[in-house]
Structure 1
Amino acid sequence: MRKFGLFAAFVLLLTLPASADDLLKRGSRGEAVAELQAQLRAWNLPVDPDGVFGPRTETAIRAFQRENFLPVDGVVGPRTRAVLAFNLRVGGPSFGPLGGSANIGIGHKALQQQLQANNTIAIGTVAAQYAVALADSTIAGVKAARFMREGTGATAYGFRALEHSAKAGNNTAIGDSALWHSQGTGNTVGGYVAAEGMSRGDENVIFGRAAARYRDNGDHLILIGNRAGAITSNADRTNLIDANPEDDVGGAIAGDRLVGIGHQALEEFLGSDVLAAGHRAGRSLIGEAGAPLRSVFLGPDAGHTERQKPDAANSTAVGADSWTDANNQISLGNEDVLQVRTWGVFTFSRAYPASGEGVPPGSLFKGDDGKLRFKADDGSVVSFSGE
Structure 2
Amino acid sequence: MRAALLASPASPLVMADVQCVDPGPGQVRVRVTHCGLCHSDLTMIDAPESLTPIILGHEAAGIVDAVGPGVGTLAEGDHVMLSPFGPCGVCYWCVRGETTLCASAATMFMGTMPDGSVPFSVDGQPVYRGLGVAGFGELTMVAASAAVKIDPDVPLEVAAVIGCAIQTGVGAVLNTAKVEEGATVLVMGLGGVGMSVVQGARLAGASRIFASDPVADRRNASAAFGATDLVDPADTDVVAHVQEATNGIGVDYAFDAAGAGPLVEAGLAATRNGGTTVMVGAPALEHSVTINPAVVHLITEKKLLGCMFGGCNSQREVPRLLSLWQNGRLDLEPMITARRPIHEINAGLDDLRSSIGIRTVFDLS
Q: Report which of the two structures shows the higher radius of gyration computed on alpha carbons.
A: 1
Bigger RCO (CA 8 Å, 6+ sep): 2
TM above 0.5, one fold?
A: no
Q: Which has the higher helix share?
A: 2
Give the TM-score, by structure 2 length: 0.24
Give the TM-score, by structure 1 length: 0.23
Q: Which has the higher strand share?
A: 2
